[in-house]
Amino acid sequence: MRHARPPPRGGSGPAPRSHHQLVHFLPQLLAPSTSPPVWEGAPTGLKAFRPAIFGDLPRPGIPERLESHRDRDGLLEVLARTGLCDDPTKMSWDIRPSARQPTLEMRACDVRTRLDDALTIFALYAGIVRLLLDLRRNDQSWRLHRRLFIEENGWRAQRWGVEAELADFGALRLKPMAVLIEELLELVVPHLEETERPHAERARAIVVRGTSADRQIAIYHIAICHEALDRRADDLEGRRGMARWLMREAPKGWSEPSRRRAVRPRRLDRRSGTALWGRPHARLVRETVGRCYHRLMHHYPLRPVPGSGPSPGA
């Protein structure tokens, strides 16, 4: 999901301060929606690689802090007159006022492989917007934090997804996503519409079972283990397994040519009697599930190990 546009209640449009308060919640929305974890078919070490690509584009990430509509209009006018950016829709911020509607567009998350997951992220975002609008009506606001702090949390969400621990700047300590999602739901659920309330339980389920990125990486490593039992395998086997899963997971009609290429050709392994590129033989799965699990946990632990990998500031 790249654009979410819940309608604000009243007013001609969201004030710039509204999206500065929303920035605080972006890492908590990114973590349960991470995908894709790959680039050119191979794992990158990140649960969401697309933010790394967008980081090299002009005007990415956290938006400029603007205090009023006049400040925003002045910024856009300078960019247009100098020829730097003549189209407001080219402002590639993670969250931005819509150029055509009195709404806020949230762009921090990517397209989900499951429609229900996309609706869950949208429900959380809509609830957060309504929460902040209600605070504004009561002359209250969410505390604004330094851009560096939000970017640090965003990097951790991008790196580890739902396995990340994000900073709680009020408590001044790290908290796991399971705790943060409960705190977020406590704030948001009263502001959800009746049809959106079932998505609260699904948000908890995403944190427990993992995101699309978790499943893609798991399938990648299991496919390597499966093929390595009969012949020498490289990461190409993992890419094939991941592609097959994506084609099954995505709704039919999204990419039919790619779907057909992902499941062809089927050929029989004469040594084991299994159909490669197809569904593995049940006996082979039973005999190798222990070894596959061991290798998967070795190469891809479920929890981040303190001090391992690049530092958040890298």
Tens-place pLDDT, residues 86-97 = 888 888 889 888
CA nearest neighbour of 160 among 294, 27, 2? 27
120 within domain boundaries: yes
Confidence at residue 274, expressed as pLDDT on a 0 to 100 scale:
40
Most confident of 55-69, 189-203, 211-225: 189-203
Alpha-carbon distance values, 214 to 58, 255, 288 (Å): 29, 22, 21
Q: Would you say residue 51 has pLDDT above 80? A: yes
Average pLDDT over residues 247-251: 66
Confidence at residue 210, expressed as pLDDT on a 0 to 100 scale:
92
7 within domain boundaries: no
64 within domain boundaries: yes
Average pLDDT over residues 77-81: 90
Q: Any residues with CB less than 8 A from the CB of 134 and at least 6 apart, and which?
A: 191
Cα–Cα dist 152/156, whole Å? 6
9 within domain boundaries: no
159 within domain boundaries: yes
Q: Would you say residue 266 has pLDDT above 50? A: no
User: What's the number of domains the chain is made of?
Assistant: 2
Q: Are residues 187 and 292 in the same domain?
A: no
pTM of the full structure: 0.71
310 within domain boundaries: no
Confidence at residue 166, expressed as pLDDT on a 0 to 100 scale:
97
Share of the chain above pLDDT 90, in %: 34
Q: Are residues 154 and 129 in the same domain?
A: yes
**Bridge-based pairing state of the strands 104-106 and 165-168:** unpaired
Q: Would you say residue 219 has pLDDT above 70? A: yes
Peptide bond preceding 36 in cis form (omega within 30 of 0)? yes
Q: What are phi and psi of 96, to 5 degrees?
A: -155, 155
Peptide bond preceding 265 in cis form (omega within 30 of 0)? yes
* pLDDT tens column, 221-236: 877 766 655 555 555 6
312 within domain boundaries: no
C-alpha angle with apex 230: 224 to 231, nearest 5 degrees? 75
Residue 219's CB is within 10 A of a number of other CB atoms, namely 20
Q: Would you say residue 306 has pLDDT above 80? A: no
User: Which of the four pLDDT bands, split at 50, 70 and 90, describes residue 277?
Assistant: very low
Mean pLDDT of the chain: 76
Cross-strand bridge partners of residue 167:
174
Q: Are residues 173 and 226 in the same domain?
A: no
Q: Are residues 75 and 171 in the same domain?
A: yes
Confidence at residue 296, expressed as pLDDT on a 0 to 100 scale:
47
Task: Pick left, alpha or beta for residue 39 (phi over 0 → left; psi -120 to 50 → alpha; otherwise beta).
Answer: beta
Confidence at residue 223, expressed as pLDDT on a 0 to 100 scale:
75
Q: Are residues 194 and 259 in the same domain?
A: no
Share of the chain above pLDDT 70, in %: 67
305 within domain boundaries: no
The CATH number that applies at residue 61 is 3.30.590.20
User: Which of the four pLDDT bands, split at 50, 70 and 90, describes residue 264?
Assistant: very low
Q: Are residues 187 and 229 in the same domain?
A: no
Average pLDDT over residues 34-52: 89
Q: 108: domain range? A: 16-209
The last residue of a domain, from among 180, 209, 238? 209
Task: Pick left, alpha or beta for residue 210 (phi over 0 → left; psi -120 to 50 → alpha; otherwise beta).
Answer: left
Q: Are residues 41 and 84 in the same domain?
A: yes
Average pLDDT over residues 116-130: 93
Cα–Cα dist 289/298, whole Å? 14
C-alpha angle with apex 209: 193 to 278, nearest 5 degrees? 120
* pLDDT tens column, 134-171: 998 888 888 889 999 999 999 999 999 999 999 999 99
The last residue of a domain, from among 178, 209, 240? 209
* pLDDT tens column, 96-114: 888 778 788 898 987 788 8
Alpha-carbon distance values, 149 to 27, 143, 259, 262, 288 (Å): 11, 13, 41, 41, 44
